[in-house]
Amino acid sequence: MKEFLTVLIEDDEDDVFFFQRAMEKVDWPGAIQILRDGAEAIAYLTGAHSAADPRQHPTPSLVILDLNLPIKTGLDVLQAFRGCDPDHTTPVVVLTSSTSQLDVRDAYRLGANCYFTKPSHPDGLVELLKVLKAHWIDYNRLA
């Protein structure tokens, strides 16, 4: 069985730090690939499906996606990713500071599996990652 690969698409340095700290605290398994902008994320995610060598571009097990990204937005990334993953085999968790109902709707329409707003306290993030780990890694069966 291949290693669990989490792709975190997040441009904010501080948020990346909070993530890594919270992941340590909840014993998040496997490898973590961090992508800093929308264009990079699209290149990585679409390349994973077309690349000749799957070891260089392993298919992610779970994508955690921020919406407000430089160059290309999170919604663009989602659209491009779902374009080459029509079966929706890879779960995408949208985790963003946006509370806009429009963003929520668009995210689901483009194939997000769930939508969370970023907790303002580090403890909140730890709580959220506990839930995500339990759901997607401990209990959920991936395709």
Interacting residue ranges for another protein, rule: CB under 8 A: 12, 14-15, 18, 21, 68, 97-100, 118, 120-123, 125
Are residues 33 and 8 in contact, defined by beta-carbon separation less than 8 angstroms?
yes
Beta partners for 9? 35, 65
Q: How many helices (H) and strands (E) does the chain have?
A: 5, 5
Q: Which is nearer to another protein, 61 or 96 (CB)?
A: 96
Is 21 or 109 the residue whose CB approaches another protein more closely?
21
Instruction: Find the shortest distance in angstroms from Cβ 9 to another protein.
Output: 15
CA distance 11 to 13: 6
Beta 92-96 vs 114-117: how paired, if at all?
A: parallel
Least Å from the CB of residue 38 to another protein:
14
Rounded Cα–Cα distance for residues 112 and 99 (Å): 15
Beta bridge partners of 94: 65, 115
Smallest distance from another protein to CB 124, Å: 10
Whose Cβ is closer to another protein: residue 47's or residue 122's? 122
Tell me how far, at minimum, the Cβ of 32 lies from another protein, in Å. Answer: 19
Nearest CB to another protein, comparing residues 59 and 68? 68
Instruction: Write down the least CB distance from residue 26 to another protein, Å.
Output: 15
Judged by beta carbon, residue 56 or residue 101, the one nearer another protein is: 101
- Whether 98 contacts 44, CB under 8 Å: no
